[in-house]
């Protein structure tokens, strides 16, 4: 049998995770950058060795996630420690020289059918449906396996996540959870990473995404950090001789925008416009919005617009909406090539709300306030619930604007900002 000795520097929670080979089910709950996936790959090597000649399984939320995250990291680790291996890309399984057993990779996007495993590993468990985890449990059933362990890692996603009840409220017998703080992995992170995370997240999110703890995210409110006593100020008015920053979401009914002051540090909302669909008008909703801005003396030369990125292609009628803005004289338009993902939007705006960086005049911005108080998210996808046609429009515009003015710390820009002049 081929021998491979691997000694890697382990932080505290990685050591606990690796040394426990007796718990039937073990889960490492850690913050971002805590070394979860690294520990799981090392666990794969360990369990394949302990359960020699027995097949195992490795589940990820998706094969795309596996190819972008797990596979490159595993190849890096195996090369670093000179571990001979084969990965079969057509059938998705690993082979190692010390065992005839394979480690099969499966996606949580589909029902798991057929395989019999002696052990299993799961990356980003909290992003996989609970029903898939139960299917994995049903597949680890090879009698000859000496260590039929199911090892998983993930980042906690709040009390509304279905794993909270399964792991925390009513933990199953034989289940062990290990908590890992990102700061314990500081030796493997860039100098500014921890500071960037702390700057990006409010205190609740720091508990989850740095300390790895399960926290209450206040039900299913998308903007859970909004508090009237912190974020409302009836004294907010338009600042004289300062640009008006306009957050805009392109819709036919209603068309919406909000007007903001921005001093380079704080964003304060002082007005909003909502236009119902007018069948009698020959103008598009975007053209009517331009007219409404000018009627309130928000003239093109004084306005910076942050619209829905889809407006470069979307047409409420006729031309693409951004072209309509330019045709109406609004030339300072700042937009990214794609809208940020909902989870990133949620974390970014809540961080700003919790620090009082975003404030509104509730009397002048009732639609913005209604969104901040009432928009919910789907706990399985983190996307905004859009069943109410009167909600999400103002807050979508706010998301687009803050993604440009306050790019999430610790994240490289995923798309460049385009300015249309």
- Beta bridge partner(s), residue 256: 249, 274
- pLDDT of 171-204, one tens digit each? 888 899 999 999 999 988 988 899 888 888 877 7
- pTM value? 0.58
* pLDDT in 10s for each residue of the chain, 421 residues: 445 555 667 899 999 999 999 999 999 999 999 999 999 999 999 999 999 999 999 999 999 999 999 999 999 999 998 999 999 999 999 999 999 999 999 999 999 988 999 999 999 999 999 999 999 999 999 999 999 999 999 998 776 678 888 888 778 888 999 999 999 999 889 888 998 888 888 777 888 889 898 876 656 789 988 888 899 999 999 999 999 999 998 876 789 999 999 999 999 999 999 998 877 888 889 999 999 999 999 999 999 999 988 755 455 556 788 999 999 999 999 998 787 788 888 889 999 999 999 999 999 999 999 999 888 888 777 788 888 888 899 999 999 999 999 986 433 334 445 555 4
Q: In what order do the strands lie in the sheet with 102-107?
A: 86-88, 93-95, 102-107, 56-60, 119-122, 150-154, 25-30, 175-180
* CATH T-level topology, domain 12-209: Rossmann fold (3.40.50)
The DSSP string of 97-146 is TT-S-EEEEEETTS---S--BSEEEESSGGGS-HHHHHHHHHHB--TT-S
Question: For the chain, where do the domains classified as CATH 3.30.420.280 start and end?
Answer: 228-420
C-alpha 322/C-alpha 286 separation (Å) is: 9
Do 313 and 322 form a contact (C-beta atoms < 8 A)? no
CATH no., domain 228-420: 3.30.420.280
Question: For the chain, where do the domains classified as CATH 3.40.50.300 start and end?
Answer: 12-209
């Amino acid at each position: 049998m081929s021998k491979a000795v691997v000694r890697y520097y382990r932080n505290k929670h990685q050591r606990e995770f690796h040394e426990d080979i007796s718990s039937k089910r073990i889960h490492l709950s850690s913050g971002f950058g805590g070394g979860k996936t690294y520990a799981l790959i090392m666990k794969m090597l360990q369990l394949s060795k302990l359960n020699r000649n027995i097949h195992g399984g490795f589940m990820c939320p998706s094969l795309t996630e596996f190819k972008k995250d797990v596979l490159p990291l595993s190849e890096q680790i195996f090369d670093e420690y000179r571990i001979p291996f084969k990965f079969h890309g057509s059938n998705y399984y690993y082979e190692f020289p010390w065992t005839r057993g394979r480690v099969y990779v499966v996606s949580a996007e589909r029902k798991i059918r057929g395989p019999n495993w002696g052990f299993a590993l799961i990356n980003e468990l909290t992003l996989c449906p609970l029903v898939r985890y139960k299917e994995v449990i049903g597949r680890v059933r090879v009698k000859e396996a000496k260590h039929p362990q199911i090892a998983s890692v993930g980042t906690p996603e709040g009390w509304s996540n279905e794993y909270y009840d399964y792991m925390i409220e009513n933990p199953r017998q034989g289940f062990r959870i290990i908590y890992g703080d990102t700061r314990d992995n500081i030796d493997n992170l860039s100098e500014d990473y921890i500071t960037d995370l702390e700057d990006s997240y409010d205190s609740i999110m720091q508990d989850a995404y740095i300390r790895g703890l399960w926290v209450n995210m206040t039900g299913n409110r998308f903007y859970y950090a909004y508090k009237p006593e912190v974020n409302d100020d009836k004294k907010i008015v338009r600042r004289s001789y300062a640009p008006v920053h306009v957050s805009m979401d392109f819709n036919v009914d209603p068309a919406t925008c909000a007007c903001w002051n921005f001093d380079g540090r704080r964003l304060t909302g002082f007005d909003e416009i909502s236009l119902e669909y007018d069948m009698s008008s020959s103008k598009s909703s975007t053209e009517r919005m331009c007219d409404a801005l000018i009627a309130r003396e928000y003239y093109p030369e004084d306005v910076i617009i942050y619209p829905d990125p889809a407006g470069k292609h979307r047409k409420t009628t006729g031309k693409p909406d951004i072209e309509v803005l330019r045709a109406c004289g609004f030339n300072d338009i700042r937009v990214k090539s794609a809208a940020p993902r909902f989870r990133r939007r949620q974390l970014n705006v809540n961080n700003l709300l919790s620090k009082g960086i975003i404030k509104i005049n509730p009397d002048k911005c009732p639609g913005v306030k209604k969104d901040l108080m009432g928009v919910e998210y789907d706990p399985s996808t983190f996307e905004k619930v859009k069943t109410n046609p009167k909600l999400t429009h103002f807050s979508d515009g706010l998301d687009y604007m803050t993604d440009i003015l306050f790019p999430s710390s610790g994240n490289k820009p995923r798309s460049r900002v385009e300015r249309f002049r």
